[in-house]
Structure formats: structure tokens, C-alpha cells
Chain A
Amino acid sequence: MIKPRIVAIDDEPEFIDMLQNYFGLRGYEIDVAIRGARGIEIVKEKKPDVVLMDLKMPGIDGDEVLKLLKSMEPSPKVVFITAYDDGGKTKARLLKMGAYACLDKPISSLRDLEETVNKAMST
């Protein structure tokens, strides 16, 4: 089974570090960025299957990055991992905009995340 290629974008370096540590060791190809703009460049270059992304970041926010990625061809699946919670309003909006999933920080389980990533590629 081919493992999905991942790009993770989050302004928290320690969080990115953790994702890299987890997915990297399991044989996933994972690239990271701590700014939205840099993330877009990497996505363009690496053409990943799945993008793991924070919503609220300095500079360009996750929802704007999503808009751009949706217009790309091929368009990666976008999984949001965010601590932003306004009672589900933003989540619904992001899903409507074409996000594949929205997960809360802290992630309830890294295994679930891995599963979501794999599912995303297969759909």
C-alpha cells in the first residue's frame, strides 16, 4: 500500500515536530511549513495527497490557504487541526469550502489522525 504524501502547515513548531516524528517514522513522506505562504509553495512543489493544516496563523490564515489549494490541480485533501472553537460555525464553513475533515487540538488520538489521512487518500 502506498503511503500518502503529507504536507503539514502550523505556526507551532513543536506541533509540526511531533507530526514529523510520528508520520516520518512510519514511512510517510512528510514536509512541513510554519507559515501559510511557505506551505503553499511546498504544496505546489511536492504535490502531496493530504495537507494537515492549522486554521489561525500569522500571515495567511488556513481558510485562505484552503481556497488556493482547492483551485489547484490536482487538489490535495485538506485536514484542519485547530484549537479554534466557536461552537462549530467555522468548522461547518470549512467543510463547506471543501475541507476533508476538521479535528480539534489536542488531537484525541494520533492513530485516528493517521486513519483519517489514509482514508482521505483513498477517497
Chain B
Amino acid sequence: MISPFSIPYIIGGFISLLLGSFVVSKNRTSPTNRTFFLLCLSFAVWLLAYSIAYSTKSYKIAVTCASITCTSVTFVGTLLYHFVVDFLDLKKERIFLFAAYIFTFIVSIFFITTHYFLNGVYNYFWGYFSKAGPLHPYYLVFQTLIILRAEYLLYNALRHEKDKLSPLRQIQIKYFLAASILLLPGMVDYIPKYGIEIYPFGFFFILLFLAVVGYAIVRYKLLDIEVIIKRTLVFAGLLTSVFGMLILPTLIIQEYLFRGAGTGGRLAGLTISGIIIILTMRRIENFLINTTDKYLFQKKYDYKELLKTFTAEVLTVLELDKLVNLTIDKLVDIVKLNSAAVLLLDDEKQQFKIVASHNIKDQSVTLVRPDGIVTFMEETHGYILIKEMREKKIMIPDSIQEIIIKLNAELVIPMVLHEEVIGILSLGKKKSDEDYTQDDLDILLPLAKTLAIAISNAELFVELGRAQAEAAQREKMAVIGTLSAGINHEICNPLGIARGQCEAFLLNMKDGLYKTKTSQELIDKAMDIMAKVIKETDRATAITKKLSGFAKPSKGEAEYINLEKEIDEVQGLVGYELKLEKIEFEKRIQKDIESIFVDRKQFQEVLFNLVRNAGQAIGEKGKITISAIVENGKVLIDVRDTGSGVPEDKIKLLFNPFFTTKDPGKGTGLGLFIVRQIVEKNGGKIYLKETKVGEGTTFRLEFPIAAREKVKVKV
């Protein structure tokens, strides 16, 4: 037969076990969670063993139980201390912790094997209870000191390291400190050990401790455990327990007042219960909703966090893909949603397509604009809240209804920019089963609006990148146009030879000028000419190949670049132009210079532009020198010319778009502007190093050395 005095102990023991197991199940590898479990276990063993001792009639069993319970309790203080050391990550404290464990182990062995600490049991009105031995007071001092030490450590962290702790962490520590302080009065359980007959109600303080820790877990993610409590579940639980409590007294009343009254008595009892329930039902329900809402669900989600995250992390993202995915991730995470999706309008097809989603089975859902979703949302004040629709009995058109089901949506918000719906934000039910409130809408509606701006920004940015690339390409083609004289010269020369050699042979044959030659001589002559033609056409082809290779747009991928090779390549292209104008070209590259990591084609374009500008600054007869050295982890490339120099008033304008000193047709003026864009995109810098009117100009490029073992220049 279970003694009524055992019941609170049994309940306490199981609750303790339950919470401990829950905590450790959330993170099996975390030392804090494991220690917490052990702490709960020692509570549980303590309580459950006593519950047996109170209920048993056997002295022997009682002594065994007392031994078990006391041994278990010896660990409570040390485990609490251990938990705090881990929780606050106090490395220096570990040596004391180690000593405390050794001491605890020794004491626990003494508890079991000797009578110094535990000396049999008392038989009190509630049952058997352990009797303190002669050394027990010393152990008591140790236990008290170690708990106080743990509490002091928590207090100390709050007081002295406040700046290092996040507000959430501070609250967590505060709650744990409060819980452990609440544990101290549990020491009342030691009083009966010294022969004073007071029912040990320490279990109450253990329950308080567990309750506070549990609350901190639910509300403040203590131990990083996130619990989402279904609101309905809590109500159901609370309502049942409250009515259970109400029914209990009526049942007791029934037993005492109408005892032996039979069915009539029971009916009377039930009637009283029923009346009480009917009278109080509404009020209790309201009270429960209000209190639980206030204390458990108030946090719902942190508006501040939502706003902070979106302004700091999400809305500034310029990559469309990343932006929409972050939006979904953060919304799901912070508002705690079951599902969510962002749909964007495809202008051409006039339909909304999912671009990012969470927990949506049918990814291919599309909303065709003519379906009327937009007009429908306009009619419904700019959003669709399914529950509200149902309550107000507003009909949702079938086509929209179907999509809402597919999207798993509870709240659908259009993203509007300049009165145009550019996309749709679809939010599913909250994990907590709570409804969307006006507060939610007040923050989510403007958020959707801001999101529309961010999405439009990202789209424009993509567009801008494309426009920039196109401008760079156009500029390149324009620049190639300015090379046409040199390239034409270089192609027409070999063609002139090939054509002339062939024509001369044909005409000589026709005119009978080869009559004296033997056929072998003629064949030899023809073969000689063919070889020449092949050689010359190859020469012409090589140039066109170089040119078309250069004209192709870059792939936009960085690679390791051998400076010398790239300079040669560029020289191959501008060389003819320079040769025509009698401009000398010299390169001075530091031996074994390190590679740089850039887009090869873009780097060529940059060099090409600079060399060609230098050539144009010189006009005729002069010298262009490209030199490259390494200094302070950077590759410094100078392009120096002996040209006309830049007048002082023009220096500031050099990198402006459309600034040019050249004659019409010789340059668009985008040259240096685009060069700078390209250089910066590749992680480099470009600036005017020096210039003197009439003497020349030097531009400098700086690129970081590629983080790889240096690549030897092949000679």
C-alpha cells in the first residue's frame, strides 16, 4: 500500500526524470545537457527512494532506501556546481570541480559503508526517514558551500561580464540563478535527520526548481532548446487540470456530505460539480487564455528581431536568388511558420511563379495573373487571411482556393511596387497553431512592401551588371574599330603577296613567258608559290584569330595569370598599330614574378586599353614600357608612355565616363571608366601614377599576389 506521504515524492521523481530526459534528448552530446540530466536523475533517485521508505513497513528496506537516497543527494550540490561550470564555460573552475567530485565520491562511499554520515533510520509519522551520523554536519557544510559557490558564479557572470553576454543569455543565467536559489530551502529535508519530526517538504522546492528551469527553456531557449508549444494543447491540459481540481473537492464533499446516500447522493454531487463547471467555465477559460497568452505565448516571435534581421541581413542582399531564399528562411525561423513561399511575376508569361519556398510540396504552382488573384487581393484590403475570410464568410474563388491549398497558405500578402503587384508572399500556419493577429499584419504588410523594393533593387542590379558588361563589350568593339588600320595593313600585306604570286604565275603562263622552262621547272615554281601562299594566308589568319579571340566577351571566371604571357598576347594585337606609328614597345617583367588571380580576358582588355591609350597619346614615334614588379604582396604593373601627358585640369576627369581628349571616332571616352570598373571587379586598383605634359604618362595597376605557389614564367 502506497502511503499518501509518498505521493508527492513519486510525482516529483517522475517530473524530474521527465525533464532531465527531455533536456538530454534535445542534445545528447552537450555536456551541460548531460550534467543537467544527471542532476535530475539524482533528484529522482532521492525522491523515489524516499517514497519507498515512507511506504514500506520493513526496517531493512527502509535502511537500504535511506542509503540510496542519501548517496544520491550527496551528488546534487556537485552536479549543480558542475552544470554551472559547463554552462558558463569556466575553465579555471575545473580544478575545483575535479576536487569536489573526488570528495563527493569519498563521502558517498562513506555514506554506504559506514555510520559516520548515515546512522540508520527514524520512524516518523510519515514513515521511515534517514538518521544523521556524527560527521553529517560537516557534509552538510560542504553541500551548502558548493551550492553557494555555484550560485556565486552565476551571480558573478551576470555582474561582471554583462557586456559580453547577449540579452537572451543574461536572462537565461538569471533564471537559472533564481531556480538554484529556490532549491536552497529544500535543505529543510535535513531537519528530520537530526530527530525533529517535521514532514520533509523539500520536494516542493525541487519542483519549483524544475518549474523555473522548464519555463526558462520554453520561454528563453535555456540550453538552446527551442520548444514550440501548441496553444490548443496547453489550453486543453490546463482546462482539464483546473476542472480536475474543481471536481476533486466536489467528489470529496459528495463522499463526506452524502456518504451512503447512494445514487441520489452521487447525483447531487455531480449536480454541484456541474453547476460549478457551468458557472465558472467561461471565466476560467478566459482567464487561462489570458494568462497563458501573457506568460507563455507573449513572445510569439520577436518583432524587433524580425525587423532587425530583415534590415540588417535580408533587405540589403543584391542577389535575387539569395534574397528570396533568405526571406523564406528568416520568416520561417523567426515567425515559426509551417510553410512559406515567395512568388514573383514573370512579366512575359503574366504569371506568378515560386522562386523560394519552405515545406511546399508542389513547386510548380503558378498563379496566372488573369486568374484574378490581384483584383481579389485588392478587394480584400491587400491581403488574404484565410481564417478571416471564413469568419466573414467571404467566398474565395475556386481557382484561388486551389492554389491556396497547394501553397499551404494561411496568409497571402501581395508585394506591391508602384501600384504594381510584382510578387506574392505566402505564409503558412504558425507552428504554434496561433492565429495571425492584427499585430502580425501590422508588421508583415509593411515588410512585404519593403521586400518588394528590395526584390526590385536586386532585379535592377542584375540588369545593371548586364548593362555594364554590355557597355564594356561595346567599348571593346569600338576600340577594335580604332585598330582597323593596323590590322588591315597586317592582313592585306600577306594577301597582296599571295594574290600577286599566283597572278604573276598565271599571267606568265598565259603570256607564254615560261616556254623555255621544262615542266619539272614549272612544277617546282608552282610548288614554291603554293608554299608561299600557304605561309602568307596563315599569317593573315593568325591575326584574325587573335582579333576574334579578343573580341569574344569574357566568361567572368578568374584564373591564375602569367603576366608575361598576357602582355605578349596584347602586344600581338596592338603591335601592328604601334609598328605602323613607329612606337617602340618594351616590357620589363621581374624575373619569376608571381601570378595574379583575375579574369584573363578582362585583364587583357585592361592592358589593351592602356597600351592603346598610350599609343594614341604618343601619336607617332615614341616608346611604351610595361613594367611589373612585386612589392608588399602586390603585383605593381606600370604602363608608361612618352606621349603628350595629361594636363593638370584634366587629371581629375580621367576616369569619368565620356571624358576623352581624343578626336571623334578615336574613342568613346568610356575607356578608362570601364577599365577602372573591370580592374576593381577583379580585386585590383588603377590610378594615374605620374604625368607631365609633353613628356609622358604612367598608369599603375595593383593586384594582390594570387594565393598559390608562384608560377614560374615559361621562357
Contacts and interface: CB of A to CB of B under 8 A. Distances in A.
Contacts of B532: 14
Nearest to A84: B489
Given A56-B489, A83-B489, A110-B503, A15 B508 contact: no
Contact of A109 (B493, B503, B508): B503
A104 interface: yes
Nearest to B576: A56
Residue among A105, A109, A110 having the largest count of chain B Cβ atoms under 10 Å:
A105
Interface in B471-517: 485, 488-493, 495-501, 503-504, 507-508, 511, 513
Interface string B522-540: 0000000000100010000
Contacts of A85: 485, 488-489, 492
Contacts of B501: 14, 17-18, 21
Given A85-B485, A110-B503, A22 B508 contact: yes
Nearest to A86: B485
Interface string A88-111: 000000000000000011110111
Nearest to B533: A14
A105 B503 contact: no
Contacts of A81: 496
A12 B508 CA distance: 21
A19 interface: yes
Given A25-B513, A111-B507, A106 B536 contact: no
A9 to B, nearest CB: 14
Nearest to A90: B485
Nearest to A20: B504
A110 B488 contact: no
A25 B508 contact: yes
Interface string A1-38: 00000000000101101110110011000000000000
B500 A107 contact: yes
Interface residues of B, number: 25
Contacts of A58: 579
Given A83-B489, A83-B493, A85-B489, A106 B508 contact: no
Bin chain A's interface residue count: 20 to 34
Nearest to B508: A25
B580 interface: yes
Contacts of A26: 511, 513
Contacts of A86: 485
Contact of B497 (A18, A56, A104): A18
A107 B489 contact: no
The B interface is mostly helix, strand or loop, or mixed, namely: helix
Nearest to B485: A86
Contact of B495 (A17, A21, A106, A110): A106
A17 B496 CA distance: 12
A18 B491 CA distance: 18
A85 B140 CA distance: 107
Contacts of B498: 106
A104 B495 CA distance: 11
Given A21-B508, A111-B507, A106 B485 contact: no
Contact of A110 (B485, B492, B500, B580): B500
Contact of B496 (A21, A83, A109, A111): A83
A12 B507 contact: no
A21 B493 contact: no
Contacts of A104: 492
A22 B503 CA distance: 9
Contacts of A17: 501
Interface in B295-318: none
Contacts of A110: 500, 503-504, 507
Contacts of A84: 485, 488-489, 580
B488 A14 contact: no
A34 B507 CA distance: 25
B536 to A, nearest CB: 7
A83 B504 contact: no
A24 B491 CA distance: 27
Contacts of B580: 56, 84
B664 to A, nearest CB: 13
A22 B493 contact: no
Interface string A50-86: 0000001010010000000000000000000111111
B496 A105 contact: yes
A19 B503 CA distance: 11
A102 B536 CA distance: 23
Residue among B489, B496, B501, B511 having the largest count of chain A Cβ atoms under 10 Å:
B496
Contacts of B492: 83, 85, 104-106
Given A22-B507, A25-B513, A84-B580, A15 B489 contact: no
A19 B511 CA distance: 16
Interface of B: 485, 488-493, 495-501, 503-504, 507-508, 511, 513, 532, 536, 579-580, 582
Interface of A: 12, 14-15, 17-19, 21-22, 25-26, 56, 58, 61, 81-86, 104-107, 109-111
7 contacts: A12-B496, A14-B536, A19-B500, A83-B488, A83-B496, A84-B485, A106-B500
In the complex, the 4 A-B pairs of residues with the closest C-beta atoms, listed nearest first: A83-B492, A105-B496, A106-B496, A106-B499
Given A21-B501, A83-B493, A83-B496, 14 more contacts: A14-B532, A15-B493, A18-B504, A22-B504, A25-B508, A56-B489, A58-B579, A83-B489, A83-B490, A83-B491, A105-B492, A106-B500, A110-B507, A111-B507
